[in-house]
């Protein structure tokens, strides 16, 4: 076995083993309420091995719960892209637009999802649209910022080609500006998806809707701590897969 294969396969396994060891040690010593890895598995195996069972609103297989969360994230994310992409292009293209809205955007950007959610509940009076609203509002900023940056960093050479050819504004946009900024736009899309997935847990915890985050919070209240860990691991795994998928899409646009 070569040294690169060794480090690619064996070292991550070593890291995993160390984490499990520390986790076990903690559950045996200081944090005695923390379920050990073995206990977590024993109490969670039905959720993992029958991932689509449904016994009740809040007692379902982990992938069924994850599916609810993904649908919710998908709605919020698409809304974020639908708003964020044109706003980003306008910011990059129009100086008056940028000077009008950039300060507001910089001000809104750092606001936590926990702060938006109650406002969403006030506006929509229902938990589902409030959750989607919160996800969209928090997730759209990387798309906005990266799209604007992509537009403003287009090489002047490309724009000069369009100017010499006297392309119409529409052709300039579709033939040059949009394709030239696509790599940045997709970086924004990837970061936005990561944020949308981060927000889902907070949104579901506060609204108590069925999903991984809602399940996590309910199991905390029912003192089934092993299911908190199950939820945390599921959130991590799905977040990882989403990021990998978006990286593949992004790389395709970077190569073009």
CA atoms within 13 A on the CB side of 153: 11
# binding residues, another protein (CB under 8 A) = 18
170 binds another protein (CB under 8 A): no
One residue of 9, 165, 232, 245 binding another protein per CB under 8 A: 165
Q: Which of 202, 175, 57 is nearest to 116 (CA)?
A: 202
Q: What does the alpha-carbon distance between residue 139 and residue 133 come to, in Å, rounded to a whole number?
A: 10
Report the DSSP pairing between strands 54-56 and 59-60: antiparallel
Of residues 180-219, those binding another protein (CB under 8 A): 180, 182
Which C-beta is closer to another protein: that of 48 or that of 182? 182
Q: Tokens representing 66?
A: 């994850």
In whole angstroms, the minimum distance from the beta carbon of 256 to another protein comes to 5
Torsion of CA 226, 227, 230, 235, to 10 degrees: -140
Which C-beta is closer to another protein: that of 177 or that of 235? 177
How many angstroms separate the first and last alpha carbons of the chain?
A: 36
Q: Which of 79, 110, 84 is nearest to 187 (CA)?
A: 84
One residue of 100, 112, 126, 155 binding another protein per CB under 8 A: 155
158 binds another protein (CB under 8 A): yes
Which C-beta is closer to another protein: that of 95 or that of 166? 166
Which C-beta is closer to another protein: that of 162 or that of 194? 162
Which residues does residue 59 pair with via DSSP β-bridges, in sequence order? Answer: 56
In whole angstroms, the minimum distance from the beta carbon of 188 to another protein comes to 18
User: Which backbone phi and psi does 55 adopt, to 5 degrees?
Assistant: -100, -30
1 binds another protein (CB under 8 A): no
Residues in contact with another protein by the rule CB under 8 A: 155, 157-158, 160-161, 163-167, 171, 175-176, 179-180, 182, 255-256
């Amino acid at each position: 076995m070569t040294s690169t294969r060794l480090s690619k396969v064996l070292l991550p396994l070593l890291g995993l083993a160390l984490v499990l060891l520390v986790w076990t040690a903690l559950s045996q010593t200081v944090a005695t309420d923390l379920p050990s890895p073995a206990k977590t598995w024993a109490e969670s195996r039905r959720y993992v091995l029958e991932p689509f069972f449904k016994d009740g609103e809040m007692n379902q297989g982990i992938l069924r719960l994850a599916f609810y969360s993904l649908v919710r994230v998908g709605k919020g994310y698409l809304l974020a892209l639908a708003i964020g992409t044109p706003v980003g292009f306008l910011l990059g293209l129009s100086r008056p637009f940028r000077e009008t809205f950039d300060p507001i955007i910089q001000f809104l950007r750092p606001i936590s999802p926990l702060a938006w959610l109650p406002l969403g509940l006030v506006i929509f009076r229902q938990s589902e649209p409030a959750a989607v609203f919160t996800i969209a509002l928090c997730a759209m900023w990387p798309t906005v910022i990266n799209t604007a940056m992509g537009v403003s960093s287009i090489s002047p050479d490309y724009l000069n080609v369009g100017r010499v050819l006297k392309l119409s504004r529409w052709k300039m946009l579709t033939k040059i500006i949009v394709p030239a900024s696509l790599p940045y736009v997709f970086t924004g899309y990837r970061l936005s998806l990561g944020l949308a997935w981060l927000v889902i847990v907070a949104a579901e915890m506060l609204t108590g809707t069925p999903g991984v985050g809602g399940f996590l919070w309910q199991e905390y209240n029912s003192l089934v701590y092993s299911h908190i860990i199950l939820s945390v691991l599921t959130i991590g795994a799905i977040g990882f897969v989403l990021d990998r998928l978006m990286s593949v899409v992004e790389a395709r646009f970077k190569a073009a």
